[in-house]
Amino acid sequence: MANFSELDRYLFGQATHYEIYRKLGAHFTDQYGIRGVCFDVWAPNAARIWVIGSFNGWDETADEMTRLEPDTMGIFELFIPGIEEGALYKYLIETKDGKRLYKADPYANYAELRPGTASAVTDIEHFKWTDEKWMEERAKTKDIYAKPMTIYEVHPGSWMRHPGREDDGFYSYRDLVKYLIPYVKEMGYTHIELMGISEYPFDGSWGYQVTGYYAPTSRYGTPQDFAYFINECHKHKISVILDWVPAHFPKDAHGLAEFDGTCLYEYADPRKGEHPDWGTKIFDYGKNEVKNFLIGSALMWIEHYHIDGLRVDAVASMLYLDYGKQPGQWVPNKYGDNKNLEAVEFFKHVNTLILGRNPGAVMIAEESTAWPKVTGRVEDDGLNFSYKWNMGWMHDFLDYMKLDPYFRKDNHHKMTFAMSYNESEKYILVLSHDEVVHLKCSMINKMPGEMEDKFKNLMVGYAFMMGHPGKKLLFMGQEFAQLQEWSEARELDWYLLENPDHKHMQNWVKKLLHIYQKNPALYELDSSWGGFEWINANDAERSIFSFIRKSKDGKNNLLFVCNFTPVERSDYRVGVPKHKTYKLILNSDDAEFGGSGKERPVNYKSVSQECDGRPYSFAYPLPGFGVAVFRY
């Protein structure tokens, strides 16, 4: 009896087989009372296929697969008795023109550690989850946008490493439970975003050139170890986001490229099917079986591994047919323009499906253009993502922060412009790994001036980011002002925390994160002018920004004042909307952040004195690069 039934074939052909990872690939099963593994692979244009592996001495003629009838879909199947957990295997595919291809299993749940490229037999069904309460609470979430979200972006292989080991010294998924989770909890992040989890062959791609869309990378342990890490994150009330890469895949011989001797997973026309800049293949989003492959991968991460969200990489490269291409290198759509209509429909399908089946989960777009309604509803012709990375804010912010403070007055608009379009999408403000690699400098070394000024610049920049509407993402190491650019080949420079300047920066970011979590004004109304109000957006001459963040109930609103020059303003006065007492809850001049430690009053009562166009105001001596946050 075939493992892959007629119903399976029908659903797969419609791109609606939502548990395809339980059918294609290698799965333990019993046939006629005999325990073994059933292998199923989709390869419609193959002439013959054999399963070769450690269990048959890699004998290329021992175990030939059978093409299931009717053969129009091209599913090949074979049951082999007696195979043990961890056995390695590949498919030997003979093409119709007589070539022989040695391919890893596209649906494998585990793989051999690189540089090996074989798939590995494993059972991912026997992990005992204990996060039922977390999953129930997630499913009951009525408004994801009214919840706090501060994301710690982590590349597991270079966050921390074991010293002196002969292998790579990677922390395993279980090591990360012991060390990463407590660190994230202590710092005050709400989410961990993991780079490079789907299996990939080349470390230097950071996991963005995937060969195993259904397999957690074996660099850090087994699928069960990975599940344990997620389970423990949930136990400690930390959400987990994974990077997911449906935009392209590498040309490695064992991978998806020309899988059965033809362009099976990619567009056949190289003008649609290849990224000339990246040397990779583009998925054929018009082919149902390919769409099902990607949809099944997304569903497996969220439904089987309990992942709380996917950050979708390189969305713009999928939406535009001419992305990274010169004239003659791309083909217009049926309307003659550059939109990939099949990719648009794919996003509408996958986002609606995942969010509909998994309330409380999120889909995040890394989309770098002005494509409209990325987070809009499908009914309004939107793509239905939960959030979009705000790359515009990031570029303007970094352009401003790099400037000598003397020239900031002429670029004041770079820090206020994002509010003019803030309501158009649901945004995440990001300072990601992409901003601290390839000669871009670390965050601290983007800052102008001598070392002391660099730290003060970065402190005020982080405070502005934390106060500005939008959820937050900060790449690992930047919270303590890593000096070097990031490299996947070494761990972060944790020794820097022995230096007081770096420790003060870590204290500052930690304080900002805890203030963020404790104050709904900073996250409840991120995409509405109801949650934000400029006090003075036009103080360009002094390069000071003052604004208010408001909560839904109007209680515990916050007033931010950020000075982006080294000039002390001892006569500074800030206008306020209400005749209230304003309580100082954050002062960058405190000793724990490397400031003077000079004592200041906690409470500031406003008086009837017009300032900043407001009827009330109070005086606050503002240090150079000073930040003050008040609650009222």
**Strand stretches in 494-611, DSSP E:** 532-536, 544-549, 558-563, 573-576, 581-587, 603-605
Say if CB 400 and CB 411 are below 8 A apart.
yes
Say if CB 101 and CB 257 are below 8 A apart.
no
**Strand stretches in 238-318, DSSP E:** 239-244, 274-275, 280-281, 309-312
**DSSP-derived 3-state class of residue 271:** helix
Catalytic residue among 266, 313, 434, 589, which? 313
Catalytic residue among 193, 225, 366, 367, which? 366
Over the range 546-577, which residues count as b (16 or more CB within 10 Å of their CB) and which as e? bbbbbbeeeebbbbbbbbbbbbebeebbbbbb
Residue 119 phi, psi (nearest 5)? -85, 160
CA distances from 211 to 15, 145, 248, 581 (A): 21, 33, 10, 59
- Cis, peptide link before residue 623, omega less than 30° from 0: no
| 526 is an active site residue | no
One-letter amino acid for residue 250 of the chain: P
C-alpha dihedral sign at 259, 263, 264, 266: positive
CA distances from 24 to 19, 21, 469 (A): 9, 6, 44
| Measured distance CA(605)–CA(589) in Å, rounded | 21
Say if CB 510 and CB 459 are below 8 A apart.
no
| Measured distance CA(532)–CA(350) in Å, rounded | 33
| 313 is an active site residue | yes
Listed in sequence order, the DSSP H helices in 29-163 are 132-139, 156-159
Question: Catalytic residues, which ones?
Answer: 313, 366
